[in-house]
Structure 1
Amino acid sequence: MANPGAPLQAILFDHDGTLINSEAVHFKLWQQTLTPYGVELTDAYYNETMAGVPTSQNGVDVVRDFNLSAEPAELANTKTRLTEEHLHKAPFPLMPGALETMTLCHEQGLRIAIVTGGSKYSVQRTLECYGFADWVECVVAVEDVEHSKPAPDCYLMALEQMGLTAEQAMAVEDTEHGLAAAVAAGLQCVAIPTEQSMGHDFSAAAAVYQSLSAWTNEQFS
């Protein structure tokens, strides 16, 4: 899919669920976090409310929806600690076609950023372990902005750091919240839903693909 208007110069990738296969692990770690409070977290609730949403907001949502006495920040801090312990042992696995997609974008001369509602440490582990750190010139994570996805702040920051207009870049996302952030920043965004986000509303996407490979086959054909 060609980017209308200005020539395409950069691809801004989401991280969790787009480049790395992490949502199933996040679900299990949230289950572990909430079990002491008597919460039986279901796939349906996680997929509808939590997938693609920053951890801090997840904490707010579960306290509200399950009427918990815990502080949202307390839950978020526990989940963050469990995630860091997991990442210390091993990075999240790549999504199918992720390495090939990054390689192709690099070979096409496109600039690459990772724009995530997750932690910078998670992105660092991906870059350290999978060999494309030198290709990624910009990383914007949840720590870098006051308002994370679905607010556009993270994408606006990436564009500013790269000296680009929204018309010169394209975003790749896997959730409704991520798509909303990209579109609010003025970006064309393609959506590649995961099993967790298949029920999300992707009507604002420029196009929806079943996989990274399906997108690159059309984008670079």
Structure 2
Amino acid sequence: MIKAVLFDMDGVLIDAKDWHYDALNRALSLFGMPIERDAHLSTYDGLPTKRKLEILSKTRKLPKRLHPFINSLKQDFTAEIAYSKCKPNFLHQRALSRLKAEGFKLAVCSNSIRASVDLMMRLSKLDIYLDFFLSNEDVKHAKPDPEIYVKAIERMGLAPHEVMIVEDNEHGLAAARASGAHVMAVAEVSDVYYEAIKQRIVALAV
């Protein structure tokens, strides 16, 4: 029996994939190293900014001494975009409010930094439905490692088979499956609505 639903944030509850891409590229462009969109989707999508910069240092010789500065710029640019574009989504508010009313425990587990998760959850007005959220700063190993989901499941006092995770990208799906929980894969934020989530939960109970 499913007792909790864990959500990824970017690409699941918040349509922020392009925000992260644009913010990072804005910072990288200052050093002549923007990432092509195809490369971002195939290699970098869903990874923490620090991991993206590590890959760029290995593949394109981005000086490691620039990592802290670029990371800081990227986070500032992300917040700037979020304040402009992050708005409440009725379908998501309805889904989380109904799930909460039905007694499900709810949490967000994101590869974004804590400040970004907190900001976007508040701006989208989804924070009021969550029991808690975890960011990449709350674990030693970010997705695709399952640590963030394992930690969330343990914090809820549940077993993996009592939890369903909603994820969208390759790295997140790998982490979700490795946690031992049930998984609902979505392609975009519009796939995340109450009826779809409940249909998956009901199917798992059969």
State the TM-score bracket (shorter-chain normalisation): 0.7 to 0.9
Q: Does 1:219 align with 2:200?
A: yes
Q: Compared with structure 1, are the counterparts of its residues 149 and 193 closer, same or farther at alpha carbon in structure 2 (3 Å cutoff)?
A: same
Q: Distance in 2 between matches of 1:77 and 1:131?
A: 25
Of residues 52-61 and 121-130 in structure 1, the stretch that sits farther from structure 2 once superposed is: 121-130
Q: How far apart are residue 151 of structure 1 and its match? A: 0.7
Q: How far apart are residue 135 of structure 1 and its match? A: 1.9
Structure 2 unmatched ranges of 5 or more: none
| One-letter identity of the residue aligned with 1:76 | N
Query: What value does the CA root-mean-square deviation take over the aligned residues?
Result: 2.3
Corresponding position of 2:99: 105
Contact 1:18/1:95 (8 A) holds in 2: no
2:76 aligned to which of 50, 68, 81: 81
Q: Compared with structure 1, are the counterparts of its residues 184 and 73 closer, same or farther at alpha carbon in structure 2 (3 Å cutoff)?
A: farther
Q: Distance in 2 between matches of 1:130 and 1:36?
A: 31
Contact 1:11/1:113 (8 A) holds in 2: yes
Q: Compared with structure 1, are the counterparts of its residues 95 and 175 closer, same or farther at alpha carbon in structure 2 (3 Å cutoff)?
A: farther
Give per-residue Cα distances to partners, 1:68-119, cap 9 Å, x unaligned: 23434443233123223444x3463466832232123223221101111112
Number of residue pairs matched by the alignment: 200
Corresponding position of 1:143: 137
Contact 2:48/2:112 (8 A) holds in 1: yes
Q: Distance in 1 between matches of 2:114 and 2:129?
A: 16
* 1:118-133 paired onto structure 2 within 5 Å: 118-133=112-127
Q: Compared with structure 1, are the counterparts of its residues 150 and 81 closer, same or farther at alpha carbon in structure 2 (3 Å cutoff)?
A: same
Contact 2:53/2:62 (8 A) holds in 1: no
* Structure showing the higher helix proportion among its residues: 2
Structure 1 unmatched ranges of 5 or more: 1-6, 196-209
Q: Distance in 2 between matches of 1:69 and 1:26?
A: 21
Corresponding position of 2:161: 167
Task: State TM-score, norm by structure 1.
Answer: 0.81
Give per-residue Cα distances to partners, 1:170-210, cap 9 Å, x unaligned: 00001110111111111111111249xxxxxxxxxxxxxx7
Task: State TM-score, norm by structure 2.
Answer: 0.86
Q: Compared with structure 1, are the counterparts of its residues 57 and 172 closer, same or farther at alpha carbon in structure 2 (3 Å cutoff)?
A: same
Of residues 139-148 and 96-105 in structure 1, the stretch that sits farther from structure 2 once superposed is: 96-105
Q: SS where residue 186 of structure 1 aligns? A: coil
* 1:149-188 paired onto structure 2 within 5 Å: 149-188=143-182
Q: Does 1:54 align with 2:34?
A: no
Q: Distance in 2 between matches of 1:220 and 1:107?
A: 15
| One-letter identity of the residue aligned with 1:130 | S
Contact 1:149/1:181 (8 A) holds in 2: yes
